[in-house]
Amino acid sequence: MAKPQKQYLVVHQTRSAEPTEYENLLAEGIERSFAAGIHDLDGLAANLNAMCVPAPAGQPWTADLFAAEMKRLGA
């Protein structure tokens, strides 16, 4: 039986720069939300607001704003 081929993974291989402070705060807020069992967009937005994670232009987080920001950050 042949051994499975090892995958070569490069950590952060798609990153063009170090994350900003904003990106780190947002990532931490998302991780804490997931850890609390929150997985839906409305719940994520509400939890980010409750944790005072800054949103673009100082707006409160909404499901639509969260989805748009994830799309922008992933572009």
Secondary structure percentages of the chain, helix, strand, coil, to 5: 55, 0, 45
pTM assigned to the model: 0.78
Contact 66, 48 (CB under 8 A): yes
pLDDT by residue (tens digit) across 17-38? Answer: 889 999 999 999 999 999 999 9
pLDDT by residue (tens digit) across 62-71? Answer: 999 999 999 9
How many residues belong to the chain?
A: 75
